[in-house]
């Protein structure tokens, strides 16, 4: 199962890249999208680690509801 080993190396690296992007983006909507991508990759990592239960919860809460709440909050603010 060499492919699984490669995935276990790539997915955490991509999570770190997404986290750096969240901190680096000036545009708030872009940062929220990067955060959603981080959550989705984290759900994939949970699935690879044989925890599909946690993966479904992470995909539902982290990738969908948190992003929706952030988008609603950012839309209520004004850009100067």
Partner 1 sequence: MSKIVRTVAKLLTPAILLFGLYVIMHGHITPGGGFQGGAVFASGVALLIVAFGAGRVEQFLKEHQLSMLESGGGLLFIGLAFAGLATAFFYNFLVGSPIFGHVPAFGPNPGDIWTGGTIPLMNVAVGMKVIAGLSAIVLVMALASSKQGEDE
**Shorter beta-carbon distance to partner 1: residue 15 or 63:** 63
* CB-nearer residue toward partner 1: 11 or 74: 74
20, 36 in Cβ contact below 8 A?
Answer: no
d(CA 1, CA 6): 9
Q: How far is residue 35's CA from residue 51's CA, in Å, rounded to a whole number?
A: 21
Looking at 13-52, which runs of residues are DSSP E strands?
A: none
In the three-class reduction of DSSP (H, G, I as helix; E, B as strand; rest coil), residue 50 is classed as coil
Binding flag, residue 76, partner 1 (CB under 8 A): yes
Q: Which is nearer to partner 1, 38 or 55 (CB)?
A: 55
Q: How far is the CB of 33 from partner 1 (least distance, A)?
A: 13
Q: Which of residues 48-67 bind partner 1 (CB under 8 A)?
A: 52-53, 55-57, 59-61, 63-65
């Amino acid at each position: 199962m060499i492919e699984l080993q490669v995935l276990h190396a790539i997915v955490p690296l991509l999570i770190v890249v997404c986290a750096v992007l969240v901190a680096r983006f000036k545009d708030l909507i872009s940062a929220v999208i990067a955060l959603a991508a981080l959550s989705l990759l984290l759900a994939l990592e949970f699935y690879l680690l044989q925890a599909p239960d946690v993966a479904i919860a992470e995909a539902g809460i982290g990738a969908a509801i948190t992003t929706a709440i952030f988008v609603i909050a950012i839309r209520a603010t004004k850009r100067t």
